Amino acid sequence: MNLALLLFSGIVAALLLLLVWALRGPRKPAGIAADACSFEETGQRHVTYLPQIRQALAKADYEFLAKRAPGEVQQRVRRERKGVALAYLAAVRRDFQSLLRMARVIAVLSPEVAAVQEFERLRLTAKFAWQFETIRWKLLVGFAPIPQLAGLSDLVSGLSVRIEAAMNELGERAAAAAELASSLNRRGLDVV
């Protein structure tokens, strides 16, 4: 079999695989209203339980158990801590994805989109996915320092709150503009 045949078969195979992936379609259709609801929950969902998660992951608790509890109990606690950490990491990823989705919805509904920003976001998403998987695997094999996960949550939650505030502000501005237009109409004035 010659090289050209291999090369072009490879390109066609890659295109077909991409086609299958792309045809699976978006998980949910883009919609600002649907996303605004989930966005309100974003960040608050796991932040609400942050003190409990911190408590569950506290090093002191683990050291205390190491001294007093039998090996079997220690193992069970380690397993459960790992489960909590993984669930927490998954929650962080869900928040990250919610923010990304919000960014995409804004991009889709914007009359102008900056290519640099979009490619930057794509690059950051790929980087996040890679790092997330690395940490997840490290957690699974029992290497990652669990308490550091809390920092990630703070960051994502902070962003959620700020963007939510920005969206609220935009909503208020739109409502004010609509109110102004309707009051002008009631008085028989031309807005233009």
Partner 1 sequence: MTAGTGQLQQTLWAVDMAVGVFLLLSLAIRKSYRAFPAFSLYIVVNLVSGASAFFLYRAWGYSSPSSLRIAWGMQAVVMFARALAVTEVCKHALARYRGVWALAWRALLSCAGIILVYSSLAAKRQWEHLLPNADRGLELSISAALVTLLAFARYYEVKVNSTDRALATGFCLYSCFVALNNTILEHYLYKYVALWNVLRMLAFLASLLLWTRALRRPQAEAAPEETLLPAGVYQTIGPQINFRLRSLNEQLGQFWKTEATRN
**What does the DSSP 8-state code read for residue 28?**
S
Taking the complex as a whole, the smallest distance from the CB of residue 68 to partner 1 amounts, in Å, to 26
Q: How far apart are alpha carbons 118 and 139 in whole angstroms?
A: 31
- Residues listed for the chain: 192
Taking the complex as a whole, the smallest distance from the CB of residue 127 to partner 1 amounts, in Å, to 5
**What does the DSSP 8-state code read for residue 27?**
S
Taking the complex as a whole, the smallest distance from the CB of residue 166 to partner 1 amounts, in Å, to 6
Nearer to partner 1, 73 or 120 (CB): 120
Q: How far apart are alpha carbons 69 and 62 in whole angstroms?
A: 10
Taking the complex as a whole, the smallest distance from the CB of residue 90 to partner 1 amounts, in Å, to 14
Nearer to partner 1, 122 or 184 (CB): 122
**What does the DSSP 8-state code read for residue 142?**
T
Instruction: List contacts with partner 1 (CB under 8 A).
Output: 2, 4-5, 7-9, 11-12, 15-16, 18-19, 21-30, 32, 96, 99-115, 117-118, 120-122, 124-125, 127-128, 131-132, 134-135, 138, 143-145, 148, 151-152, 155-156, 158-159, 162-163, 166-167, 170
**Do the beta carbons of residue 147 and residue 58 sit within 8 Å?**
yes
Nearer to partner 1, 69 or 129 (CB): 129
The residues, ordered by sequence, that sit 6+ positions from 14 with a Cβ below 8 Å of its Cβ are none
Coil/strand/helix, residue 61: helix
Nearer to partner 1, 19 or 186 (CB): 19
